[in-house]
Structure 1
Amino acid sequence: MNVVFDVNHVDDAVVPDVLDSPIPSGGSQAIANPKRQPRLHLIDDHQQFSEKLSTFINEEWDLKEAGFSYNLAAVFGSQSTGKSKLFGTSFDVMSETARQQTTKGIWMSKDKDKKILIMDVEGTDGRERGEDQDFERKSALFSLATTEVLIVNMWEHQVGLYNGANMGLLKTVFEVNLQLFGGNRGKEKTLLLFVIRDHIGATPLSALSNTVRTDLERIWQGLAKPEGLEDCKITDYFDFMFTALAHKLLQPDKFESDVEQLRLRFTDTSNPNYVFQPQYSRRVPADGLHIYAGGIWDKVMTNKDLDLPTQQELLAQYRCDEIANAAFAIFQEKIKEFRQPVESGNIVDELGPKMKEIRGTAIKSFDKDASRYHPDVYKRKRAEMLSKANHMLEAYFLGQLKNLHKKAVSLFSTNLQQALRSDNVEFSVVVAASKKEVTDYFLQGANAIKLEETEWSYDEELYQLEQGLQEFAKTQREKELNKMLTNLEKHLRKELDEPIGLALNNPGPSMWNRVIHIYQTTVEDGEQLLQKKARTFDLDQSEQAELTLNLRRQAWVLLTKKVQEESVDGMMLLKLRNRFEEKFRYDDHGLPRVWKPDDDIDTPFQKAREETVKLVPLFATIDNTDPVKGGKFELEGSEDFDFDQSLKVLSETRQQEITTKFKRESDAFYLEAKRSVVATQAKIPYWVGVALIVLGWNEFITVITNPLYLMGLTMVGVPMVAMWYLDMLGLVETVAWKVYDQGSKIAMDKLREVLDKGRDNGRAHQRQPQEYPRSSQGKEEGGIELNSMDKKSQ
């Protein structure tokens, strides 16, 4: 095929520059090229398929990782048409003086640059094989079944001739191809590219192509088509292209131009006549081509009645197997339509009658052709085929039962849910009615798919369905109850959150009475909803009482959670600060206070803070006094619910911490009020500003002209001005002092640790002289002094 890309001339042939085997052609010199691609004798003279194809693909041609990114073409035609030379297969060809069949079997090679595999098929109508053209028919059929493009090479003077134009061969190929691959109608196609050699131009290419097309259509119309494919067209399986090459000797320039145009059909993907189109691909990965091609060749070799045994019984066994396989292949193809819907969980309508019809058709087809063979073999093979068919159909039978089971459960669920949407229905009655309905549905469907001459049973599936429905009803009951309780919980949360939040944000002596009243009102509404819904589930008195108690507990838990959320430190400080501001910053009429120098700030401050601090103990414990009946409101406890413990909100420690934090925050309000009074008194004379400008002019110029000074002034001055403008200087000062105090404490703690460590080292040093007599007295004296110091320090 490479010659279509790089052309060299050898007599009346075109030879590739990539594949360099010797090509004797009259007096020509052999052409060699060190870049030659290895070639494989794919199918030899003995019709044996080569086992080396996998090795060549993976190692010699480096196509192991090619996947689908490769192409496959085949070349065949009458013997002595120069096809091997024309398309660059680089296989041995005939000489000019010995016009006889040259290409032996089928050879395969690869293009040097492109990922294109070329099969060169031996010439047809050669006198080497004589009238036995069995191999030519098989090889042509193999080429059609495996390649994307089949190049038919013929001379111009052969057009219109039955044998010379390979029409007889193509007729046989079309017939067998239609039988084997007729099921792929419109799915997989092969391109037939007819190359007409020595085209002088007297007859236009269009006229030649029309002649060939007419012959092909006439052949196709005369084919004996299988059942169901009577109306198929040749274009359902094949596409056609026609091209011509000028006479090599009479029109050399035109020949070169034609070869160039032919080359572009194989290399230029933008060419409108590009041959390797996606619809021609066999979708076979390169690393699996050897398996695919080998399987196709096996099909071709075992087709029809080739090489049958002579003994009657052996012949019967062979033919019965072949007939059974053919009938069973049709049987499998027809039942494929059930696989996808059954595996997808769908109920196939009329599955039983359809399976019975398909099975009966397969058995009748077997009986028709196999009944004339040995009776015992025929009966045995018939029983085997029936058992095999039943075995395959049983998978669909079980799959349909599984889908019926799912559908029945789904119907049961749907019916049950629809019934439960109504009021005043009894759960047990609804379950019994729904169970009977879906069980009848399952039995009707199961009986419809049970075939005769089988041992199929659905007893186990029926038992599993009944158990499943019972379990589903129990689960559905619990699920609906939980769903109802979840909705009630959402309702309770919605009814409790906002009112309780408003009550806690307005603390006072009656705060807890309002909270308890909100709880009781919400629980009463929830109990009414619970009793209304519980009737649909056939609950007895004890179950209703338990659900009611759980409802009250859940509502109380939601209440306490809301209280805890509103009682965290941040929220408590916010509440206290709001109450303090309300008392300190605003007067009795709700107007903001503007402090004057003569106003008494201390008394209102002390009064507002004391009143605010009294609110902290109010939040410490929930007062569960019943606002309507009086007395204490209580709930029965459980393992997971402690009512008395739930009343505690703030511990003593937290109360002290919150009070301390609030007092510190209130100090800032006090300081702010004091500063506002001082600010009204402090007035700077105008002459001070003038003096500052006159006396500080030089310094001002120095600062603004020095980038370092200017940057430092900006970094310090801008924040100070911003804080002054926002009236935050007092707050910043307070924070600074707190940081200073905390830092001082940390420094003192560190210093104390250093001193303690030094004192410990001193004590250890005093203990060392115990081993020496002279130092013992001094040690005791020193010990007394240290002990005295320790006591003093303590």
Structure 2
Amino acid sequence: MGGILQVVTGDGQLNADQIKAFIDGHKLAETGVDYQVVAITGPQSSGKSTLMNILFGTKFEEMDALSGRNQTTKGIWLAKSDKIDHPATLVMDLEGSDGRERGEDDTSFERQSALFALAVADVLLVNMWAKDIGRETGAGKPLLKTIFQVNLKLFEPAPNKQRTVLLFVFRDRTKTPLSRLQQTWAEDLTRMWASIAKPPQYEDSLFTDFFEVQYAALPNFEDREEEFRAESVLLRRRFTMEEEDSLVRVSNDKLPGHALELHIEKCWEVIKEQKDLNLPAHKVMVANIRCAQIMEDQLAALAEDQAWLQLSATALAQLVPAFGATAAALISSCIAGYDEEARYFEAGVRQAKREELVARVLALFKVAHDAQLRHLQAKVLHGVKVALEPTHTGSSSSAAMSSSSSMGPANDAPAPGFSAHAAESRRKALQQFAHGLQDLFVAVADWDTQAAQHEMVQSIDAYIEGLKQAKVAEVQRLAERCLADALAGPAISLLDHAPADLWPRLGKLLASAAAKAEQVVSEGLVGYDLSEEEQYALATQLDSFANGKLEGHVQEAAHTALSRMKDKFTEVFSRDEKGMPRAWGPRANIPAVTQRARLASAKVLAQLAILRIGAPQELGEAVDRAVLGLAADKGPEEASSSAAEIGDAAEFDIMSASEWPQAPAASVLLTPSQCRTLWRQFASDANYTVQQAMATQDANRAASNRMPPLWAILAIAFLGFNELLAVLYNPLWLILFGILFMFGRTVYLELDIDAEMQRGLLPGFISLSGKFVPTIQAVTQRTVEAARQFINNPQALAHQVQHQMSEAVAAVAHANGDAADAVDAESSTRQSEASLRRRRDDNGGVEMTSSHLEKHADAASLANPTASSERRKTK
């Protein structure tokens, strides 16, 4: 046949070389996209080739009615229309479906050819008998459903983009109106589209998103040939672009003519590889349908079986005894029923459906089996909990131990430790679980229980480890509480008092607290068999906790270093060595006490500067030297040089250093700059306290030397005039009163009544009463000795007293130097006083006390105000 190409042979071979020659011969490459492909499909001997020849002027082979109804077209044929020039029209004639030549066992080719036409053609004519509308198989619905479904899967067309035109040609029309036929067929198409399995991206797509449906009806060709040809001419015009109801669709996404060859090759290659088109033969289809029905009937019967319903409900709620045997019996009964009814159908289909039935039944029972596994696991785990809880909580009740399902030790044997008891409980629990798995075993099911066993082991181990870790955490909390209690009170007390050996004592306190915590851990974890790594980790955590607690107390003390320095200064400055409050009497050495208090405060600051536990001793000594240099009674430059002289050349300057040398950052509590700032604040506050003490001392001095009021003197003179005359007329009385006055004044000064009474009325009287008699005896003895010496050599003693008074006045007059000279002057004055007293004791008769020296010192201060001011600043 001239101008006709067999694209695909009857055995499915593609003629690729001839396709290229055909396209080149008809110059399709020059048409661009101005062409269309029209294909026709339908039942065998339905007049497909005749219709295409009449419509497009092609020369496809037609059936000879006289020779019988048999297959005419084999494979897929292609020709170019001679009656339609624009656009260029390629006509494709397909082998008819449902032919007796291929039989019921070979139906895959008709599906492949139909899908090929659907993928390649722009317009696909579906040739069908009008009287078959409303039928299932006669109308070719199975074939259409298959090619629609596979088309979506293979070629993934885009919705509403280059839709294929489906022209349904109803042959041999009847009296039924075309509109009624169209309505019926449209409903069938909608149901077919809804019933096919679609890819996920096409779940919501409609049939009209991919296909444009058109209809045509033709009379019987043999009975009304002229009418048939006339209507065919009208139908041909719809394949041109001139008619309003034209079937030609212009699209920019259409492949150009030169790519048509490759498009045809690739479409057939994809279709040949698609196994879904290799549909079974008729008897296989019947077997598929019937065996599927039998399978569904058996599944429905099983779902309504009271035994299964009861087993399922009970299995979900609790552990069922002999579950495996009961389930196996129900499954075997269901499968046996299927085998009985499906034994007459094709063996391969029967076996495939049987396997599907077994899989679905096992899936149904798997839910109950999994529930039974969970119940078994819960029961076994509960037994472990019952067995271990009394041991874990430390209960010694034999009733509690007996409730552990005989997992505990005998009553006459010593109670095992937790680890040993847990190991035994674990062994018995896994043994109980293995026996339970035997009851759950279903003979017809090949369910793997290794995962359940592994999960059971993990659950038991996790529970035992959880109990162990909970106990460790509890003991750790007790140990930490013990550490906190052991450290809090003593550490705070030590930091408040700040003794000289603060850090050694804190180290001993830390070691003592750690020993107590270790005892708590060792007693609390008896029988838990902690590994070396766990013991080390626990010890490390406790050490870290103890160090953190102590460090917290020290840091808190460092944050309040200024107030602690003030408290230490007040303690040393305001109280004597016996802890009694100081009375700033005329003889009190305020500069010396001030210096001792300043050094004590500097030691507090030095101790709070760095953490010294675990630090080198040399580092602590260097910090002590640097901070104590601030307390030296010198200027800043001399203090820095003095601190540097203490150490070697590597010592740092406290006045300019920003960090401690070789001190880890974590151990620094106060930096050198913070120490300098704290010391300046402290010195400012301490100076005020010293000034108050010096003012108190001056007031006491003035009070001891104050004369009686004028009115008292006048009253004494008026009222004691007679007695005064009596004394004047009798010198013995004058001498006696003079001696008594001097004796009383000496006793007053020796008792230091002003200082004692400053302690309080009752403490003052108690202290004075204790030393009154010894003082009277000592003063009496010295007075007698002085009188004896005066009688023996009065002139030498008077000359010596005058010399000592001159030295004391000269020492006070030179008090205009720096602070150190003021201290020396005070010391010189007191040495002079002591010397005068010794001389007085030796020579007798002359009484020189500190009050006399104070008077001379005050006189010197009046003579030199500048020196007096410097002296007060120094104090």
TM-score of the aligned structures, taking structure 2 as reference length: 0.31
- Relative to its length, the structure with more helix (as a share) is 2
Q: Which structure is larger by alpha-carbon Rg, 1 or 2? A: 2
TM-score of the aligned structures, taking structure 1 as reference length: 0.34
